[in-house]
A and B are shown apart, each in its own frame.
Chain A
Amino acid sequence: MPARNTVAADPKGVDSGAHFMDGDHALAEGALAAGCRFFAGYPITPSTETAERFAERCPAVGGLFIQMEDEIASATALIGGAWGGQKVMTVTSGPGFSLMMETIGLAATTETPLVIADVQRGGPSTGLPTLTAQQDMMQARWGSHGDYRIIALVPDSPQECFDLAIEAFNLSEIYRVPVFIMTDETVGHMHEKVVIPEAEEIRVVERNWYQGPKGEYRPYRFTGRDVAPMVKAGDGHRFHITGLTHDERGYPALTAEQNDKVVRHLIEKIDSNAESIIRVEEDGIEGADVVVLSYGITSRIAIRAVQEARQAGLKVGVLRLITVWPFCEKKIRELAGKVKAIVVPEINYGQMVLEVERCAAGQCKVVSVNHCGGAVHDPEVILAAIQEAAK
């Protein structure tokens, strides 16, 4: 696994103390605490508050916010910003996320660390601009053309928006990979207590800067386990980066063999480290007959259903995904051999449930509890699914 040298956060970006703020604002605070000093964005409901917060805070912090002409420009400016030496972020929602997809492929293949938050709203198309959804989960995983891997995290509260923003930056630096924060309108606009620790308590992964001589820098290393250190433009390394299939020097190398080498590395650097990347939260899994697997706002609704089911004497466990990509395959494989059913509520017509089904591989029932965007679940609907699954 790549080295994880952490340092204390730069106090300039850390607004320590207890706050009452929404998830969107907490994302901006998390980014600033993680050392992000460049934010390029384009307004879109329900994500705009993150950009607004960053714009307001950055002059005092020594950062820069630029409102770009569209989301393609925003995402592309991030890659330029990262190779210019900064930690970079943008935020968007479905339509903007769609526009960013080609650029995300460039970030993936050039192994550029950056963070994109998608505050999900109902789709398709302009859909439900002000109403919640979890419909972009598969887009996050597969949205750009070609094979590659990304990391995606899902917060279930404003506090976790703050915490996972820092985690997202750290992971993006460790693996040189785009990291998505797949939040939603409800968490984005929900006001709750957010505690921002003192700077020295926040651990931040610094960029792994190349220390070797000029003229010998190689931007890539296709080991499938770790990534090459980075440099920034202007430091005299005269390096080259391209979206074409490339060799270790970053030069185009347009053969099937080299494409395989690059793509396998992009996949394996995440897959081979999946166990240290993946975070889930578990409760009452041991001895459970039914496990409710959920993420984001839906997991908070599901808790009510689980409580009621437990009161009625059912053995119900909870598995909350914090990391959705890479998916916790191993965990589901093991679980599926032990339980009767896994119940998967999500605000879409069945996205992460496809992964659960794949990994469960017929060992247990997998029950999808879903509806389209617009509102969170009625806990009674999840309860009914648990009761049915427990039979």
Chain B
Amino acid sequence: MSSCAPNDAQFRIQNPMAEFLRMERMPHIWCPGCGIGSVVTSMAEAIKNGGHDMDKIAVVSGIGCTGRVAGYVKFDSFHTTHGRAIPFATGLKLANPELKVIVFSGDGDLFSIGGNHFIHAARRNMDLLVICVNNFTYGMTGGQMTPTTPTTANASTTPYGNYEYPFSLPFLADAAGATYVARWTSLNARNITDSISEALNRKGFSFIEVITPCTTLYQRRNRLGDGIDAMQYYHDDADIQHGADTRTVDIGFQGKLKTGKFVDRQKPTYLDAVNTHYANVIGDDYQLYGKTPPEKQAEEEAKRAAAAAAEQADGLEAEYIDEPAECGGDDA
């Protein structure tokens, strides 16, 4: 566990993230320069800026360094099994449809062991926001190859370089039926925040991929330098191309990175489809599943508007969470 993350009382009081974090669990386990923390900061900002009712937000993670996110955020939060965050989130959302459910997990978790769940949740247009921290590796278990590791990149299980073909995640999400697909690098903090805000305000299956550095393993093993060098790469080689054809956004080793919002389309969510279909088939006798009664809806709307107005005045400043720590590895 970490010895270098800030944990003094002063920091706890001043940290603008405190209301979003389980401060009693700090310091976190992430390494110096790791990109996961900055994505968490963006998520928190988006939730704050949107004036969302924090009691109605749930965060579900699988297993991995990224999977630890659920344990640090102060929402109803669930750290599940490896690969299964999406079916867990599906059960949670369907059992209590008033929740906004965010799945926050790694590339290995979501696209190797959990790949089947991802494509099916996208196909159903399940009302979930899936945020994938894509660091091209299994961080938690020590830097093995994942389904996103670029061809030729070195990983501990491809010590002579990777000879497999990686998934292009936006293309996969698009083909599977996701109704919102975006990709950013962790350098684009503001864009990530905006994307998460946008996704939180829409319904349906939203997918945001964030390319982040795993400094300890991927960067080091491929002699790519530290976190700063990763930022330099993102700065030099990432190019915002909103609406780009997802067939063209694949990533080669240290190659060009197309970022932006690629897909944003409307389609009934899974629960909308359930309700519309049963209402058609069964008629007036059918009681809509999981619908908030209109009077409660209005009340929630008003509360949200008031919160949003209040927040606009002060806003957020610094990002603290991606402060350095030693590498984790204890739930591998």
Contacts and interface: CB of A to CB of B under 8 A. Distances in A.
B77 A236 contact: no
B90 A77 contact: yes
A77 B81 CA distance: 12
A80 to B, nearest CB: 3
A73 B120 contact: yes
A83 B78 contact: yes
B90 A234 contact: no
A60 B281 CA distance: 12
B74 A238 contact: yes
A244 to B, nearest CB: 6
Nearest to A243: B81
Given A62-B289, A69-B117, A240-B22, A76 B81 contact: yes
Interface stretch (B54-62, B134-142, B236-244): B54-62
Contacts of A74: 87
B287 A62 contact: yes
A240 B74 CA distance: 8
Nearest to B72: A240
A244 B331 contact: yes
B95 A84 contact: yes
24 contacts: A40-B87, A60-B285, A64-B289, A69-B117, A72-B87, A73-B120, A76-B84, A76-B87, A76-B88, A77-B88, A80-B90, A81-B92, A81-B95, A84-B91, A86-B95, A103-B81, A103-B84, A232-B95, A233-B96, A234-B55, A234-B58, A238-B55, A242-B70, A244-B331
A220 interface: no
A55 B22 CA distance: 40
B93 interface: yes
B252 interface: no
B299 interface: no
Nearest to A77: B91
A54 to B, nearest CB: 14
A106 B81 contact: yes
Contacts of A78: 91
B11 interface: no
Given A80-B88, A238-B75, 14 more contacts: A40-B91, A59-B286, A64-B289, A73-B117, A73-B120, A80-B60, A80-B89, A83-B95, A84-B91, A84-B93, A103-B81, A232-B95, A242-B78, A243-B81
Interface in B77-105: 77-81, 84, 86-96, 98-99
Interface of A: 38, 40, 59-60, 62, 64, 66, 68-70, 72-74, 76-86, 88, 102-103, 106, 232-244, 251-252, 254
A85 B116 CA distance: 26
A84 B287 CA distance: 20
Interface of B: 22, 24-25, 54-56, 58, 60, 63, 70-71, 74-81, 84, 86-96, 98-99, 116-117, 120, 274, 278, 282, 285-287, 289-290, 330-331
Contact of A234 (B70, B87, B99, B289): B99
Contact of B55 (A79, A103, A236): A236
Closest 7 CB pairs of A and B: A84-B95, A80-B91, A77-B91, A80-B92, A242-B79, A81-B91, A73-B87
A64 B277 CA distance: 13
Nearest to A66: B94
Contacts of B77: 238-241
A73 B96 contact: no
Nearest to B96: A84
Contacts of B286: 59-60
Contacts of A242: 70-71, 78-79
A59 B92 contact: no
B146 to A, nearest CB: 19
Nearest to B63: A243
Given A60-B285, A73-B120, A76-B84, A244 B95 contact: no
B53 to A, nearest CB: 9
Contact of A59 (B22, B55, B278): B278
B78 to A, nearest CB: 5
Contacts of A72: 84, 87
A32 to B, nearest CB: 15
B90 A251 contact: no
A251 B91 contact: no
B310 to A, nearest CB: 19
B81 A38 contact: no
Nearest to B54: A238
Contact of B90 (A66, A85, A232, A237): A66
Given A73-B87, A243-B80, A232 B71 contact: no
Most chain B CB within 10 A, of A69, A88, A235, is at: A69
B152 to A, nearest CB: 33
A254 B25 CA distance: 13
Given A80-B78, A234-B76, A251 B71 contact: yes
